[in-house]
Amino acid sequence: MSSNYSKTSHTPRRPFEKERIDAELKVVGEFGLKNKNEVWRVQYALAKIRKAARELLVLDEKDPKRIFEGSALLRRLHKLGVMEESKNKLDYILNLKVQDFMERRLQTLVFKNGLAKSIHHARVLIKGRHIRVGKQLVNVPSFLVRVESQKHLGLASTSPLAGGRPGRRARKMAKNNSSKGEEEN
């Protein structure tokens, strides 16, 4: 039995637009993404959020749906740290950019917090299961870190970098050194 999943991204309508390609390449380079699909996924998520905000803005200010759903949408964006707490109007949602979401990715925050030497090193650390958020080990570079979780970002206790079990290479070297020591005796 197969599940029917909804789309997570949209490919561009015009495949060879120089300005768009250059802009995407800049984002890919700046945030150390694997491919353009990661950019398109964020653009799609942002488009859905902006569409929801536009639909709510059409309604009357006193409309209960606008008040309830609008505050829920704003709360979600504040929790993610995409928007500042001071910006608590639906109009501000329309000004959001892809970069605002990219700044909240785990990969970006690992690099900015000094846990990695470069943005690419950050991705390697995350995929190598060296990073935790709170007590949870996270190996998804695109994980969006909430504001309250940001201070709990660190190296996983199981990671060799944090004094956990030595890595594969270190164990092999230790084994070789111990066998050499026995041969000399």
pLDDT, tens only, 93-148: 999 999 999 999 999 999 999 999 999 999 999 999 999 999 999 999 999 999 99
Least Cα distance to 161 among 135, 122, 134 occurs for 122
3-state secondary structure 7-31: CCCCCCCCCCCHHHHHHHHHHHHHH
DSSP class of residue 99 equals H
pLDDT, tens only, 156-171: 988 888 887 888 888 8
Contact 90, 73 (CB under 8 A): yes
Least Cα distance to 160 among 130, 117, 134, 124 occurs for 130
Contact 74, 67 (CB under 8 A): no
Fold observed for domain 105-184:
3.10.290
Q: Structural domain boundaries of the chain?
A: 7-102, 105-184
